[in-house]
């Protein structure tokens, strides 16, 4: 097999890169370990930044997003028993859109299949040679395959085969808490996302559709899902999301899981002709809703660089890829760390620390410049800083 760009991973990063390359007349092959049904069903992020939505529209894959996505013009920071709204659109002129990551993946897979471009699910035994470059793998039928290419894009996440092939410095930060996330068959209890600061721990009220709610609770990293019955989850959410005039809608819990929180940044995001993108290169805590959006920004930069190479023979954008992406990555890392630190209860936090958090929350929600800073980071900075 021979292609111009071999892409490992059929998540939003890999599929979006493949689509952007196809629009630019550049051949690619996408390899994915899991089956199509698994990829399309796995629940991940659900908040799309303004630049992400605009790019999906420009790429012609936003028809269903525009029909079913839920535009939001603000978020609520809930503390002192009340909501304090950050008016995103009034402060920035932009919106966020609630639309599940798995829905973006479905749309991109449908576009790939409609174009008749190579997309291989259920591959195994993938090995990557960044220097040649070359990928070997076993396809779904059990046949050994050899894929030669000009470049490799590692979009296979933090546990994939590509990241270990990059000789890089890996910066890590572990947070002393985790998120218990649930998907519930219950209508949203509020028209916008609620980030709740509470003495018992952080809580987040989000949604996926007008009928399905996504909710999170701060828990200890060593907690087990089995220790959280549905009744206990709803009881704790009721405590942490309580506010004057607020009623929490409940219903059957469809899914639940615990996610530890960490920050990871790989520098550089490249080894020879292998380029990392998305979670393969960096992880952010979910508080700032940046993970998928950073992945989309990465592959936009990479698609532009590959286009310049194949059309004009230019290498400068490829050589600058890592530095270009990392400017936005580190900005998002800081914003996510700041939101996380402001809203969560650290295990060793004393009264002094909690007073500082409340002082910060009150400042952010009463100062227009401070609220604007939060808003412009939340709706999304330009794809390239």
Provide the pLDDT for residue 41: 86
What element of type H or E holds 23? Answer: helix 12-23
Buried b (16+ CB within 10 A) or exposed e, 290-316: bbbbbbbbbbbbbbbbbbbbbeeeeee
- The catalytically annotated residue of 190, 290, 309, 344 is 290
Quickly state the pLDDT bin for 42 (edges 50, 70, 90): confident
Checking if the pLDDT of 44 tops 90, the result is: no
Nearest to 343 by CA among 282, 289, 281, 380: 289
- The catalytically annotated residue of 175, 216, 309, 378 is 378
- The catalytically annotated residue of 175, 286, 309, 344 is 286
Active-site residue, 195 included: yes
- The catalytically annotated residue of 99, 175, 195, 216 is 195
pLDDT tens figures, 333-378: 999 999 999 999 999 999 999 999 999 999 999 999 999 999 999 9
Provide the pLDDT for residue 34: 96
Domains, in order of start, for the chain: 5-46+100-168+268-344 (3.50.50.60), 172-261 (3.30.9.10)
CA dist 251 and 184 (Å) reads: 6
Active-site residue, 378 included: yes
Active-site residue, 38 included: no
Nearest to 132 by CA among 165, 108, 160: 165
Q: Mean of the pLDDT values across residues 322-332?
A: 98
The residues, ordered by sequence, that sit 6+ positions from 28 with a Cβ below 8 Å of its Cβ are 3, 4, 5, 6, 7, 17, 18, 21, 22, 117, 118
Q: What angle do CA 217, 218, 219 make, to 5 degrees?
A: 110
pTM (whole model) above 0.75: yes
Provide the pLDDT for residue 35: 96
- The catalytically annotated residue of 12, 19, 51, 72 is 72
Checking if the pLDDT of 45 tops 90, the result is: no
**Secondary structure (3-state) at 189:** coil
Q: Mean of the pLDDT values across residues 226-240?
A: 97
pLDDT tens figures, 95-124: 999 999 999 999 999 999 999 999 999 999
Provide the pLDDT for residue 385: 85
Q: CA distances (Å), 234 to each of 126, 160, 208, 219, 330, in order?
A: 43, 35, 18, 14, 35
What element of type H or E holds 361? Answer: helix 351-366
Q: Mean of the pLDDT values across residues 196-212?
A: 95
- Residue found by looking up tokens 């079913």 in the block: 68
Count CB atoms within 10 A of the CB of residue 60: 10
Q: Taking the CA atoms of the chain, what radius of gyration do you get in angstroms?
A: 21
Mean of the per-residue pLDDT values of the chain: 96
Alpha helices in 253-320 (DSSP H): 291-312, 316-319
């Amino acid at each position: 097999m021979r292609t111009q760009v071999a892409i490992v991973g059929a998540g939003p990063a890999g599929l979006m890169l493949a689509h952007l390359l196809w629009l630019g007349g550049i051949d690619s092959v996408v390899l994915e370990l899991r089956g199509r049904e698994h990829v399309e069903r796995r629940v991940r992020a659900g908040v799309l930044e303004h630049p992400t939505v605009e790019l999906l529209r420009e790429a012609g894959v936003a028809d269903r997003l525009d029909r079913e996505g839920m535009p939001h013009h603000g978020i609520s920071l809930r503390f002192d028993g009340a909501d304090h709204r950050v008016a995103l659109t009034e402060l920035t002129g932009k919106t966020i859109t609630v639309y599940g990551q798995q829905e973006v993946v479905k749309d991109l897979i449908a576009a790939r299949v409609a174009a008749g471009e190579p997309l291989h699910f259920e591959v195994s035994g993938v090995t990557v040679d960044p220097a040649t470059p070359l990928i070997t793998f076993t396809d779904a039928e059990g046949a050994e395959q050899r894929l030669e290419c000009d470049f490799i894009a590692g979009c296979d996440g933090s546990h994939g085969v590509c990241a270990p092939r990059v000789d890089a410095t890996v910066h890590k930060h572990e947070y002393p808490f985790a998120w218990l996330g649930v998907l519930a068959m219950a209508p949203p209890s509020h028209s916008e996302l609620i980030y709740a600061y509470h003495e018992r721990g952080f809580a987040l009220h989000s949604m996926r559709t007008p009928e399905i709610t996504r909710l999170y609770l701060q828990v200890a990293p060593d907690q087990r899902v089995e220790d959280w019955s549905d009744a206990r989850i709803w009881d704790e959410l009721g405590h942490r999301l309580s506010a004057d005039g607020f009623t929490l809608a409940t219903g059957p819990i469809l899914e639940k899981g615990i996610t530890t929180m960490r920050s990871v940044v790989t520098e550089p995001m490249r080894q020879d002709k292998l380029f990392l993108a998305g979670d393969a290169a960096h992880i952010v805590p979910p508080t700032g809703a940046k993970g998928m959006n950073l992945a989309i920004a990465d592959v936009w930069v990479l698609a532009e660089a590959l286009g310049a190479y194949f059309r004009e023979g230019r290498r400068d954008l490829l050589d600058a890829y890592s530095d270009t992406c990392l400017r936005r990555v580190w900005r998002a890392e800081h914003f996510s760390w700041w939101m996380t630190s402001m809203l969560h209860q650290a295990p060793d936090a004393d009264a002094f620390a909690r007073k500082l958090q409340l002082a910060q929350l009150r400042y952010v929600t009463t100062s227009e410049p401070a609220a604007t800073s939060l808003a412009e980071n939340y709706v999304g900075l330009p794809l390239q800083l």
